[in-house]
Structure 1
C-alpha cells in the first residue's frame, strides 16, 4: 500500500490516506517485536522513540524465560540470543525455594541470563530487515483519534511534527505518554522505593552465573554482562532514598557485603543509578484505535524476572491480530471483536504476574521473627509439594500460561502448543519452524484428510486464523488430534 493510497477502515468504510498503518511508540523489546511482526506481515510500521538512535546498555532485564525463547524461535532468533548468554537449569526465588527448570516440556528447559540489549539487538535487526521505519529523538506530546485513525503530535529536533496512522500502540514504558494521552489510569502502588543499580567490575566474581541473596533487610542480585562487568540490583528495606540522590561506590559495596558476606573484590563502576519499583496495571489495554503493551500496560517487582518476558508475549499476542485487521482479513465488528481478545487474554496474565512477583517480594522482605518464619515455611511448603512446585515453575517460565476457551471448546484450546515434530516438508521438521512464516498453522495427523480444517466457527480468533490462510503440515509424533495453531504459538482450535 503506497503512502498516497486510500485505505478502508475496519468497518469497511473508505478512509483518508495515512502516513503509515501502525505507529508503535517505544523501541524497547516489546515495541521491536511488535513492529517486526507487523512489518513481516506486510503492514507499514513506524516506530517512534524519544531516545537517540542506538541500543542503550543501561537495561534492567536479564532473564529470558523458556516461553520467550520459544517465541524467539518462532521468529528464527533464538539461536542468536542464546549465543549471548548463559543457561541456568535451576532458579532460586526464596532462601528455601529452588525451581528445577530442567524438566520443563520445552525445547528450552532453562533460564537464559543475558542483558536486555542483546534481545533488543536481535529484534532491531529483524525489524529493520522487515522494513520498519524508525523516528528517533521524537517524543509524543498529543494524541487524537477518530473513526478512521489516530493522529500523533511529536516534538522533534526539527520542530513539531504530526504522524497519522490507522492504529497506535504504546510500548513506551511505565511512564507511557500514549497511555496517559489515551486517558487510561495506572492504579497501583510503589513496592520498592529505592532500588540500587550498578554495573561493576569485580576482581573475585562469583562462580555461579546468577547470584541472589536475601539477608536481614537486604536483597541483592548479581549477573554477568560477559564483558568483565556485572550488573548489581538490590535494595535495603527501610532506606528509602529519592531517585535523584547520587549513588556512590561505597554504598554498592556495603549492600553487596550485607547480602553476600563479600563485595567480590569490587573495583569500580561504569554506571550507577536508582529507581523505584511499582505494582500497577491499566484497567484496559485498548481504547478504540489506541492500544498499550508491556510496561505501559503493567509493571511489577523484578522478582522472578518476568517483566521483559511478559511484554514480549503481549506483543506476540497482539501483532498477528492487529496485522489481520489492518490487512482486511477481518472487518467491521469481527475486527473489533478480534482486537478485544488482546485485552481479554493478556490482562489476566498481567494480573497473575503482578500478584505472583509481588508475593515473592513480600515473602523475601518479611520483617521480624514471625515474618521470617512465614517466609521460610512458605518456601518449604512449595518446595516439598511437587504439584505446587511444578505449577510455579510452569507459570514463571511462561510455558504453563494459557488463555480462556469458549464454552464447549476442546480442552486444548487456549493452551500453548508444544514444538511438535512434523513430517519433513517446506515448512521444516518441527512446529516452531513452521511458525516462522508468521501465519497460523493447521497441524493434521499424518494420514488425515486435508478437509479436516474447522468451518462455521464464530469465535473471532478462529475466524481470523482461518482468514489468514493457515499453512498445512502433518505431525510426525503419531498424534491423532488436529490443531489450528495461532501465529503466537497458542492453540486456537482442536479436534
Structure 2
C-alpha cells in the first residue's frame, strides 16, 4: 500500500487549493473526488479582495481577473451603496466570475505542482490510528482501493461524507428555501455594479459577468417550492420586477437552478489526523458571497501548517488551524445570516428603518470602509498573544521591498522576513528589505504577520522555530 503525506477528499476550490499548497511545499498529496469530471455549474461567482491577494501571492490573480468583471461596489436598496474603491489593496473590487473559472485555475495549479487528482472515486470509509489515516473507497469501475496517509482532509462540500464518517455533528438551521439562481441576458442592465434590492415579498441580486451575461439570485416569499422544481422564466421575471421595479429587459435564461440556504458549522475543524475545510466545515447564507472565499482561505491556512508538521514541526501547530479559522467561519456565518435576515424582514416599519440605517451607516466613510474591509476579507485577522506586537496576526499589506511587491516575493513560498528600510536581511531565511517606513516583519506563508519588531534583535528566530522547528531540536509548542 502506497503511503501518502495527505489525502484530500474533494476537488473543488478548497481541495485543489490545499493540494497545490502541499505539493508546492514538496509533500505528496492525492485528491479524491466522486465526480467523473469538474462541474461546469456552480452557485459561487464572487472572488473577494483577500482571496485575490492570496492568489496574487501564488502568481494566479491576474489570470483569474482576466476571466471576469470587477465590480467596485455594491448598489443596495434605496440608494445605499458599499464602496470597495477605497480598500487598502491592489484589488479594490469584488471579481464576478463563474466558479468554473476558479476551479479550472486551481486544479491546473495543483496538477502542475505535482498533486495527483483521482476523479470518479467514491470514499466509503475513513479510519485513523496513531500511525495514520486509511481512506477506503472504490473507483468508477467498482474496484476497491485503500489509501494510507499521515493526514486526511475532508473538503467534500456541504453534504460531506468525511464529516459523517468521523462523527462530527453539523449543528445549525435552515434559513431560506426555494432560492432561484440563473445566468441571464439583460437588454437594459443596471450599472456595472453588483445590484441588490429587497422588498416585503422577496429580493433580487444581479451581478455582471461581462459580455451582457448576468448572474441572478432571487427569492419570492409567496412561491416556495422544492429545490428540484425548475425555475420558470416568468417567475424569475416577476420576482426581479417586484424587487427592482424593472426586469431590466430579461432575455435568454442560459442556466437556472433552485437551492436552499442553511447556517451550520462543525464544533471542531480537527478530529485527530482528519481535518474539515470549506463547506464541509461551515455553510452559510449566500449574502456576501463568502462561501468559496472562506474555503480557499481555510486551505491556505491549513496547507503550510500540514507541510510544517510533516517536516518535523510540533503537532500543536495543527491545532492553530481550528483556533484561527473556526472563529472566522463563525463570524462569516453570523454576518451573512444577519444580512439575509435584514434583506427578508417583512414589517413595513422595520424595512423603513433598515433602509434609512443602512444608507446612513454606509454613507459614513469610517463605517462604510470598515464594512468594506470585513466584506472583502482584508479586515479579518487572527489576533495575538499577550506581550506580542499588535501587528501579529494581521494580514500583511503588499509592501514595497527592494525585490518588488511583497506579494510577488511571497510566490517563492515559505516564511519571509521583511527587514526595516536600510537594514540587511540575514542569510538564513528568505529576506527582503522594505523601502517604506515601518518595523521588520516575519510573514507567514498565508500572508499573516507572525512577528514584528527590530530585526537586529533576532527575536524573529524564536518565533520561526515555534512554527517550523523539529521537536527533537527543542522547539516550543505553539499555543492555539
- Using structure 2 for the length normalisation, give the TM-score: 0.90
The 8 Å contact of residues 87 and 112 in structure 1, kept in 2 or not, is answered as yes
Tell me, in whole angstroms, the C-alpha distance in 2 between the residues paired with 1:289 and 1:29.
22
Tell me, in whole angstroms, the C-alpha distance in 1 between the residues paired with 2:79 and 2:264.
28
Matched, 1:88 2:63: no
For residues 227-282 of structure 1, the C-alpha deviation after alignment (integer angstroms, 9 at most, x for no partner) is: 55432211112532111223222222222222233333334333321110111111
Tell me, in whole angstroms, the C-alpha distance in 2 between the residues paired with 1:109 and 1:209.
13
Tell me, in whole angstroms, the C-alpha distance in 2 between the residues paired with 1:31 and 1:470.
29
Distance 1:227 1:164, change over 3 A: farther
Single out whichever of 162-171 and 365-374 deviates more from structure 2.
Answer: 365-374
1:206 deviates by 3.8
Is there any run of 5+ residues in structure 1 with no aligned partner, and where? 1-16, 454-468
The match for 2:152 is: 168
The 8 Å contact of residues 4 and 148 in structure 2, kept in 1 or not, is answered as yes
> Secondary structure at 2:44's aligned position in 1?
coil
The match for 2:331 is: 352
Matched, 1:439 2:422: no
Is there any run of 5+ residues in structure 2 with no aligned partner, and where? 454-480
Single out whichever of 272-281 and 17-26 deviates more from structure 2.
Answer: 17-26
The match for 1:6 is: none
Tell me, in whole angstroms, the C-alpha distance in 2 between the residues paired with 1:471 and 1:169.
29
Distance 1:227 1:92, change over 3 A: closer
1:449 deviates by 4.9
The match for 1:471 is: 430
1:395 deviates by 0.6
Single out whichever of 197-206 and 363-372 deviates more from structure 2.
Answer: 197-206
> Secondary structure at 1:396's aligned position in 2?
helix
For residues 369-402 of structure 1, the C-alpha deviation after alignment (integer angstroms, 9 at most, x for no partner) is: 2221231243134224443222211111111111
**Alpha carbon RMSD of aligned pairs, Å?**
1.9
The match for 1:146 is: 129
Tell me, in whole angstroms, the C-alpha distance in 1 between the residues paired with 2:260 and 2:110.
31
Distance 1:306 1:139, change over 3 A: same
Kindly tell me the number of residue pairs found equivalent between the two proteins.
Answer: 452
Distance 1:247 1:89, change over 3 A: closer
Matched, 1:212 2:200: no
Match runs of 1:45-60 below 5 Å: 45-54=29-38, 56-60=39-43
The 8 Å contact of residues 201 and 266 in structure 1, kept in 2 or not, is answered as yes
1:93 deviates by 4.7
Distance 1:156 1:166, change over 3 A: same
Distance 1:280 1:366, change over 3 A: same
Tell me, in whole angstroms, the C-alpha distance in 2 between the residues paired with 1:161 and 1:470.
42
- Using structure 1 for the length normalisation, give the TM-score: 0.87
Match runs of 1:119-198 below 5 Å: 119-159=102-142, 160-198=144-182
1:322 deviates by 0.7
For residues 389-430 of structure 1, the C-alpha deviation after alignment (integer angstroms, 9 at most, x for no partner) is: 222111111111110211110110000000111113xxxx12
Given the alignment, which residue of 375, 379, 382 partners 1:400?
379
1:67 deviates by 0.7
Single out whichever of 378-387 and 136-145 deviates more from structure 2.
Answer: 378-387
For residues 446-479 of structure 1, the C-alpha deviation after alignment (integer angstroms, 9 at most, x for no partner) is: 332546x9xxxxxxxxxxxxxxx74111111133
Tell me, in whole angstroms, the C-alpha distance in 2 between the residues paired with 1:97 and 1:406.
38
